[in-house]
Amino acid sequence: MAPTMTLPVPISFELPNGWFPADPAEAGAPGMLFVAKHPSSSMGPDRVSTNISISGYRRDGVDPATIADESLERLRTGATVEVIKRTPAGSSRAPGFTQLLGLVVNDNGREVRLLQQQVYLSMPDVDDPHKRATVEFMFTCAPRRYQELIGDFVQFLRTVTPVTRR
């Protein structure tokens, strides 16, 4: 288990085999609270390391779809973004939202295509269940690796649980 207490809602999770924690700044994701990379995925013509990243937001009363919209707008400031699919998820007690995006980013003059699966989960605060936070999970990879590795991301998401402070 890998617990983190820096999110608005502390969580624990397990990384699938073949995934390793990485420093967010060194992984090119300085705003993220946690990053895991799949090292073998960076081999080949893409030179893109598949990664899972986690961030979180304390914004009571804001639904995950709104936070997903804001993420989309932020991405559009530095990339060409194609919305492939957007889906509400979860339940009224634990609402969530997912979106699959196609991205084109500039990497030192080289156009790089990526797919990014975003999952937003609203979770109750462990200290005050009337407050909520949204935790953001992102899976980013080269398009040719998506089918091969998306199952790892789903497996990872199944292990995410809130941690109760004692």
pLDDT of 73: 94
Q: Please state, in angstroms and rounded to a whole number, the distance separating the CA atoms of residues 18 and 90.
A: 28
Predicted confidence (pLDDT) at residue 108 exceeds the cutoff of 90 = no
**pLDDT digit string (tens) for 12-48?**
999 999 999 998 888 777 788 899 999 776 655 656 7
**pLDDT digit string (tens) for 60-106?**
678 899 999 999 999 999 999 999 999 999 887 788 999 999 999 98
Q: Which of 67, 59, 42 is nearest to 137 (CA)?
A: 67
pLDDT of 149: 94
Q: How many C-beta atoms surround the C-beta of residue 43 within 10 A? A: 9
Say whether pTM exceeds 0.85. Answer: yes
CATH number at 22-158: 3.40.1000.10
**pLDDT digit string (tens) for 113-141?**
999 999 999 887 777 777 788 899 999 99
Q: Please state, in angstroms and rounded to a whole number, the distance separating the CA atoms of residues 73 and 79.
A: 10
What tokens appear for 11 in the block? 């969580």
Contact 134, 122 (CB under 8 A): yes
